[in-house]
Structure 1
Amino acid sequence: MDSHLLQINMYVNNTTCHVDIMQGVAYSPLLLLGFLLNSAALYAFIAKRDSWTDTHIYMLNLAAADLALILFLPFRIYDAFHCLSKTYFCTFLISTHYINMYASIMTSAAISVHRCVAVRFPLQDRARRKKKAAALAVCLTIWVVVVAICVLFHESNTPQNLWTCYERCKNKRLPLEFLLTLVFLGFFTPLLIIVFCSSYTICTLLKTDDNSVEKKNIIGIVRANMIVFIVCYTPIHTALVLTYYDQPPPGWQFNITTTHKFLLLSEWIATTNCCLDSISYYFLLKLFSRDRGV
């Protein structure tokens, strides 16, 4: 009873502290692994900057988005063990997390389109290898779009709407237009692009007479990229929709609902993509560079 009253008092005084050791333990290995892998990927790209193509630019943008997300994980881990105060710094942390996540999602879609075009029009693609301006423009557009959306809806995650530094109050829903933007523009559209382009790339490669190990590896990695994208990002957007329609029970501020647990788990699953990207796309880049000269 005393702990319950203490929790009530902390909430009333806007200093809610919900220690979640499991989150801290779960995110710690992602921080270490993600930092090492994405740092290595960035180093590999930068080391070959004299021979960059548009493919390298897309890959560099993806690695940068993933690494930026990883670099802010220490705050989430600290919050899980000690609780950060609910300030506008929390709004910044939440915004930064989602900006980098959706920049990664959209860059993955751009890479899928680029890869599909390279397979469909290999000669034309070679003729444009030195034209990196388009790739730079696409990457810049991605960042402008995700930052603009975040700024437009920044009030959704201001301190008065937060239960803890990283969690919204369960009785305060995301604005419907913000939810629709995240689900359809941020996820569903890139999902359709990735599924279509990956499927087309695989089918095109399967029709060739080449039975080399490189071709089989490319097909395997393209298929794996598509599956990983679906597995990593479908749960969190499903959870966002479920959370919007989930009605908080009495005493919502002190009870964790099943939907809320699913949201926390899905956020962790989405974050694991930062580690997987740096592995799969790096090897795919090497294979494409050797086999098709892109």
Structure 2
Amino acid sequence: MNRSSISLIHYKMPCNTTNGNATTAVGLFEFLAYSPVFLVGFFVNVAALRAFISIRRSWTDTHIYMLNLAVADLALILSLPFRIYDTFFPLPKTCLCTFLISVHFINMYASMMTTTAISVHRYLVVRFPLQARFWKRKKAAAASVCLIIWALLVALAFVFRKENYPERLWTCYERCKDNPLSLKFIILLVFVAYSIPLLTTVFCSSQVIILLRKHSSSGEKKSLVGIVTANLIVFVVCYTPIHIAFVVNYFQTVPSNWMDEYLPAHAFLRVSEWISSTNCCFDSISYYFLLKKIYT
């Protein structure tokens, strides 16, 4: 029996035909893991948005980037209750699942790209401080960058929408183990959507740290060095595992009885998805509340 035949049979079978112990363990993990992320992320990002509203008349280009980051994170956070509910009360595999998966990843990459834009902006301000004071239309440029990020991600989600169609799913949030993302889509995600932002963020953050340590010793600038370092670590730790998991799952050998088999690579993917979502709990604190005093 070929892989497509197995996928078809699997799609017609109810969710309770999976290995009971494995399903219960995964469900318990996701409930315990995503619940605190939702609670903390929700209150942190709502607080950030309220703070933005209170200072809306004095927004700068930095505030626009921060607002975009908070919106992306909050949108991802608001989709988590569906995932928490699905752990014990499986949602039917419909287009709603495709939409929820798209929302999750669109906002994850929106957060990544906005973080990268903030890193570039911060580097330019530190590297060219005098020129930065006289830059015109900075707020318009920031708003344009944010709009381009959203338009690009929505367009890509539409083009590759079939990657998460219901017939490719085992549960509402879980792909069939023998049906990984296509190689073309993985290359786009890993080498473009992840690698370029990562390299850009590493370069800009390292340059900011070097410049601040070289030209300033004030307490405020030392604090910024610590914040930039922490932001870079969070970026790498949160987003690297899931992109490694995409590649590993594509090349793993899937047995014919994959419905009842525990696959470490697949478990790694599930855990790495949770790790990436935890970034929503750090963004608003590290970028908005701490950097607000420096750039306003």
What is the TM-score of this pair, normalised by structure 2?
0.91
Task: Give RMSD over aligned pairs.
Answer: 1.4
Match of 2:271 in 1: 265
Residue 111, structure 1, aligned to residue 118, structure 2: yes
1:274-293 residue pairs with structure 2 within 5 A?
274-289=280-295, 293=296
SS at match of 2:170: strand
Match of 1:13 in 2: 12
Runs of 4+ in 1 over 6 A off after TM superposition: none
SS at match of 2:138: coil
Gaps of 5+ in 1: 1-9
SS at match of 1:164: coil
**Aligned pair count?**
280
Alpha-carbon distance between aligned partners in 2 of 1:283 and 1:212, rounded to the nearest angstrom: 20
1:143-158 residue pairs with structure 2 within 5 A?
143-158=150-165
Cα displacement string for residues 94-128 of structure 1 (whole angstroms, at most 9, x for unaligned residues): 01100000000000000000000000111221223
SS at match of 1:186: helix
Give the Å deviation of 1:11: 4.5
Cα displacement string for residues 52-106 of structure 1 (whole angstroms, at most 9, x for unaligned residues): 0110000000010000000000000000111111111000000110000000000
Q: Percent identity?
A: 57
Cα displacement string for residues 223-267 of structure 1 (whole angstroms, at most 9, x for unaligned residues): 000011000100000001000001112310222300011111111
Match of 2:251 in 1: 245
Say if 2:212 and 2:225, in contact at 8 Å, map to a contact too.
yes
SS at match of 1:170: coil
Match of 1:169 in 2: 176
Match of 2:4 in 1: none
Residue 71, structure 1, aligned to residue 78, structure 2: yes
Say if 2:11 and 2:167, in contact at 8 Å, map to a contact too.
no
Say if 1:15 and 1:85, in contact at 8 Å, map to a contact too.
no
Alpha-carbon distance between aligned partners in 2 of 1:227 and 1:264, rounded to the nearest angstrom: 21
Match of 2:228 in 1: 222
Gaps of 5+ in 2: 1-8, 17-22
Q: Relative contact order, CA 8 A, sep 6+: which one is greater?
A: 2
SS at match of 1:81: coil
Pair 226,129 (structure 1): closer, same or farther in 2 beyond 3 Å: farther
Say if 2:76 and 2:107, in contact at 8 Å, map to a contact too.
yes
Alpha-carbon distance between aligned partners in 2 of 1:173 and 1:87, rounded to the nearest angstrom: 18
Alpha-carbon distance between aligned partners in 2 of 1:248 and 1:223, rounded to the nearest angstrom: 39
